[in-house]
Structure 1
Amino acid sequence: MKGHLAPNARAISLIKGLEITAEGTRLFSEEITRILNIPCAALSGANIANEVAMEKFCESTIGCQNMEDGMVFKKLFNTPYFRISVIQDHVGVQLCGALKNVVAVGAGLSDGLGHGSNTKAAIIRLGLMEMRKFGQTFFGDAVQTETFFESCGAADLITTCNGGRNRKVAEAFVQTGKPIEQLEEELLNGQKLQGTLTAQEVNEFLSARSMQKEFPLFNTVYRIIYEGLSPEAITAEI
């Protein structure tokens, strides 16, 4: 595609997440812009694929740098059952799509221990707070607080913590005692689990800045999955 696009072409990323290393973070939308030299927005939300395919009502969020571009994409994606909101925060939209998976692992650990809805609600709330804190601490004004209450934020977090693969595998991790790699083979046909990978990346990022203790839920999820900490710590350590 590079070199074959019109100068006024626009792109939109449907990838939920971002790359996090000890050195810093990299947004997929920024990579698309760098390679194709065109502006790139991002779409994310509580959009379970089979439900969207069945035309069950849901919402999704488009984050963009230019509202005019965002409204063009809204015209393309918006339907009576797929409602689009547009915000000028492409960074926050992608950040939510990555970090919610770490929280969902925590929710799955809680489910595996047999904790109830109250415990999961607490983990979701604490997770949302850490997601917002991460954004404000490391991205500053580039991330808007309101973004975390859009479909890409709170709504997608709730959906993922109740029905996603991250929750499912984390629950099995507690109940079976099997390593994550084995559960990926058995439950995901070998696909890699995003929540555990992101937890590892976030820990590397925070460790390089000596800030693990500032994000107790993220830190606890990492230690349970990778360092052998008891799953019971999901409530004791946060």
Structure 2
Amino acid sequence: MGGKKVCIVGSGNWGSAIAKIVGQNVLDKGDTFDKTVKMYMYQEMYNDEKLTEIFNREHENVKYLPGVKVPDSVIAVPDLLETVKDADIFIFVVPHQFVRKLCEEMKGHIKKDAIAVSMIKGFEQAEKGIRLISHSISDLLQIECGVLMGANLAPEVASEQFCETTIGTRNTENGKVLKVLFETPYFRCSVVEDQDTVEMCGALKNVVAIGAGIVDGLGCGDNTKAAVLRLGLMEMVKFGEKYFPGSKMTTFFESCGVADLVATCHGGRNRALGEAVVKTGKTIQELEKEILHGQSFQGPLVAREINTMLKESNLEESFPLFTAIHKICARIIDPKEFIPCLRDHPEHL
């Protein structure tokens, strides 16, 4: 009997960074884990060669995380069912809009006692409002699914700069297993049982980060950005109170909360998007092709999803920062209207 088999569903920027950690840990943690990690990689061409073949030869994702070597234990596989075959632990790290399709394909092809962990920072649009990605994975695959969220900018994690992260789970034993799988001296993991709040923070902070980028694009300074962070955190807490009753205030002070908010608002891709929205006048789709080489910004999608929910509940005015960010991304209002939104925020009344 070997150790638990681990597979990674996704291979972009963050997926490749976490593959470096997991790929090394399966080698270092004795017989706890199988020594091979399969990573599902959507097959695409890069310089007239299949990206999977380059990865398996060079042990590097030359397109999405260039310059970072991943342990030989990680093998890129272009076939989803081959990737997940016999796996005990699934790590989901794909854009949230692809989760349902992938899980539908996986149904009936996985172990009944497997577990999953989602690193996906987004929501799924449901018939009534929004749905947490971990809930969708769990329901579709009929297995338990925890989450991992934190102040974890992929290039910094990949270069082994110290950071923290938060594992959210409803099962204490699963939390212990995931901590062993992910923790390193430079990637410290705390485990909390307030899973839904952990995941909610991971999605909403990307929306606030766009706002931080908007004030950068408008030429404002750190004082204005600090106001965006504070008001954004207030709306995150309020959103949790409204839509996720039972959220613990202490969870907002974990890495998944205020720490991730600070990191993303200063160095994340959604901050860069917010700045580009102001300075270029281009659409989100054009900026995705230009900045992310075809990958998706999660912030605008989350902003749109929660705006749909707020509008249906007649609560747009109660969340003016979230609302303004969505409307700026959708080119409904001019970015210059963002400052009056901050100035007139009901928090100041």
Tell me, yes or no, whether TM beats 0.5. yes
Matched, 1:111 2:226: no
Separation in structure 1 between the aligned mates of residue 112 and residue 287 of structure 2, nearest angstrom: 46
Find the partner of 1:214 among 277, 294, 318: 318
CA separation of 1:198 and 1:136: change in aligned 2, threshold 3 A = same
Separation in structure 2 between the aligned mates of residue 225 and residue 21 of structure 1, nearest angstrom: 21
Separation in structure 1 between the aligned mates of residue 295 and residue 159 of structure 2, nearest angstrom: 25
Moved more, 154-163 or 183-192: 183-192
Separation in structure 1 between the aligned mates of residue 330 and residue 126 of structure 2, nearest angstrom: 17
Task: For 1:193-232, list aligned pairs within 5 A.
Answer: 193-232=297-336
Q: Which has the higher helix share?
A: 1
Partner of 2:286: 182
Q: TM-score with structure 2 length normalisation?
A: 0.64
Q: Identity of counterpart residues, as a percentage?
A: 53
Moved more, 209-218 or 225-234: 225-234
Structure of larger gyration radius: 2
**1:46, 1:151 within 8 Å by CA — same for their partners in 2?**
yes
Find the partner of 1:30 among 105, 125, 135: 135
Deviation at 1:73, TM superposition (A): 1.2
Q: Deviations over 1:55-107 (max 9, x none)?
A: 11110000011222212211221111110000001111111111111101111
**1:21, 1:202 within 8 Å by CA — same for their partners in 2?**
no
Partner of 1:156: 260
Which one scores higher on RCO, CA 8 angstroms, separation ≥ 6? Answer: 1
Partner of 1:235: 339
Matched, 1:58 2:171: no
CA separation of 1:6 and 1:174: change in aligned 2, threshold 3 A = closer
**2:130, 2:306 within 8 Å by CA — same for their partners in 1?**
no
Find the partner of 1:134 among 233, 236, 239: 239
Q: Deviations over 1:114-155 (max 9, x none)?
A: 1000100110111011011101111111x2211111111111
Q: Deviations over 1:156-212 (max 9, x none)?
A: 111111111111121112112222222222222233321111111111110001000
Please, what is the CA RMSD of the aligned residues?
A: 1.7
Separation in structure 1 between the aligned mates of residue 292 and residue 109 of structure 2, nearest angstrom: 37
Separation in structure 2 between the aligned mates of residue 189 and residue 7 of structure 1, nearest angstrom: 37
Q: TM-score with structure 1 length normalisation?
A: 0.93
Separation in structure 1 between the aligned mates of residue 126 and residue 320 of structure 2, nearest angstrom: 19
Separation in structure 2 between the aligned mates of residue 31 and residue 37 of structure 1, nearest angstrom: 10
Count residues with an aligned counterpart. 237
Q: Residue 299 of structure 2: SS of its match in structure 1?
A: helix
Q: Which has the higher strand share?
A: 2
Q: Residue 91 of structure 1: SS of its match in structure 2?
A: helix
